[in-house]
A and B are shown apart, each in its own frame.
Chain A
Amino acid sequence: MQTIKLVQPTSEQPVYLDYSATTPVDPRVADKMIPYLTRDFGNPASRSHHFGWSAEAAVETAREQVAALVRANPKEIIWTSGATESNNLAIKGAARFYLKKGRHLVTVKTEHKAVLDSMRELEREGFEITYLTPESNGLLDVEKFAAALRPDTILASVMFVNNEIGVIQDINALGAHCRQHGVIFHVDAAQATGKVEINLDKLPVDLMSFSAHKTYGPKGIGALYVRRKPRIRIEAQMHGGGHERGMRSGTLATHQIVGMGEAYRIAREEMHLENARIGRLRDKLLIGLSDLEEVFINGDLQQRIAHNLNISFNYVEGESLMMAMKGIAVSSGSACTSSSLEPSYVLRALGRPDELAHSSIRFTLGRYTTEQEIDYAIGVIKTQIQKLRGLSPLWDMFKAGVDINSVQWAAH
């Protein structure tokens, strides 16, 4: 699926290199969804007429498509409004169901806020949480993880692929330890579908969160995998009608679900070829930027999805670089880009000094990224880095041989 770009990218229509933030809906997915808005609009729970039956059939087909991508039984897939809701449901739902067994949970500092904030909420309710620190490459040490599991631990949550640095955790090994300790294992796979092989028939995972809009599906729909063998129970967070085997009430959004199903079908069929192509483009970008001085890759390069390149350009602040890269859409770990003015907590957890977090840019490639776009990006980045370093007093100091860490900065 190649789209042809005829015009020079501008700030109004930049080159999109922010696929980890969201993806465009694949036209094939959009085509599948539209009939369910105006023609086959029935409520899937209407059991007494054709409108309902046809909607229900579409929902069940989509359920099978999602299950097929991850080798699960369709009965183990329940629909939610997105991975954030799935994370909330898995963590709070399991903790509240199993709280008589224990009140300790384990997670990682680099998890998505949907996991971290859910854990914080449980802390307020009297649960105890251990937040593990990964190694400097972003990967969790399996032995350290195992050591954190206690007799009163009921759940552990580790994301498959990190949204900021793209590293892939060893879910198999981590899950095996959970099994040994009788701990429920939840995995946030929002950034993993269509990018890495997920085989829930083999992986020792009990709960897994899925998103549609990271895999060329629509926003506002996701799913939660809930293992049946052995049976995992969760307390519902949304009540009102008992939909989805009582685990998540609410009328199913047929058009959204059809979209997610189709997106996952396409992912299953096309991911291998697609990831190989994207990997080549990402490596081209990496090589193109590697002859700049003082450039640091954040996160392990091997255990990483093909789509992600998170780089710190030392002595240049991330937001100024994003402003300078007018024709390119990316994300930064800089404080200036967050409304809280704090730099990326993921990069902090890796032990990165704050100025490298402020200087970081996340490039994420995807289905519609072309080689011309990568060439354009390399050219723009090099020119603007040169210009911004020309503006930077820290670059001057570096060039003059000053050890910036030894400087006493005026408090502000």
Chain B
Amino acid sequence: MAYSDKVLDHYENPRNVGTLDTADLDVGTGMVGAPACGDVMRLQIKVGNDGRIEDARFKTYGCGSAIASSSLITEWVKGKTLSQALEIKNSQIAEELALPPVKVHCSVLAEDAIRAAIADYQSKQSTAAEGYVACDPPYVVKATA
């Protein structure tokens, strides 16, 4: 089971690893998965005044495919509006990274993570989330440089 070059590339050259200030009103945070499953992704987006995602950061506890899926999605959402970001499908991630069938669930989790982050942002703006239940991060994290 060799890792695809793209998956390895995301690990060797990580983009967008880090944290944004959870307390910031422009920041939406989504944390999905569970340690018991071996997969936890935390995805954060910073939305600009024009309604576009101007920055995104991630941290992932999980296998190489999980790290690559969450890394890739932070790349893809930058510059998109929220509704454009919601259109991203896990199958696109799986195809881009050439994930084998047994790893497709990692791309599903990444899609869940972006939805959770968007829902969190929207609930902060008092805009009704579309029935998606996200978990509130249980602590406040200072933004890292």
Contacts and interface: CB of A to CB of B under 8 A. Distances in A.
Interface of A: 315-320, 323-324, 334-336, 339, 341, 343, 353-355, 358, 390-397, 400, 402, 404, 406-412
A407 B32 CA distance: 12
B59 interface: yes
Contacts of A355: 35-36, 38
Contacts of B135: 408-410
A325 to B, nearest CB: 11
A351 to B, nearest CB: 14
Interface string B109-145: 1001000100000000000000001110011010000
Contacts of A397: 138-139
Contacts of B65: 336
Interface of B: 3, 7-8, 11, 14, 17, 19, 31-42, 59-67, 102, 109, 112, 116, 133-135, 138-139, 141
A313 to B, nearest CB: 11
Given A336-B63, A390-B17, A400-B139, A317 B116 contact: no
A318 B19 CA distance: 23
Contacts of A396: 19, 42, 59, 141
B34 A412 contact: yes
User: Looking at A320, A392, A402, A406, which has the most chain B CB atoms within 10 Å of its CB?
Assistant: A320
A391 B17 contact: yes
Contacts of A319: 63-64
A402 B139 contact: yes
B63 A317 contact: yes
B11 A335 contact: no
A404 B139 CA distance: 11
Contacts of B40: 393-394, 409
Contacts of A341: 102
A251 to B, nearest CB: 35
A358 B134 contact: no
Nearest to B59: A393
Contacts of A410: 31-34, 112, 116, 133-135
24 contacts: A316-B61, A317-B39, A317-B61, A317-B66, A318-B38, A323-B63, A324-B11, A335-B38, A341-B102, A353-B36, A391-B59, A391-B67, A400-B141, A404-B35, A406-B138, A410-B32, A410-B33, A410-B34, A410-B112, A410-B134, A412-B32, A412-B33, A412-B34, A412-B112
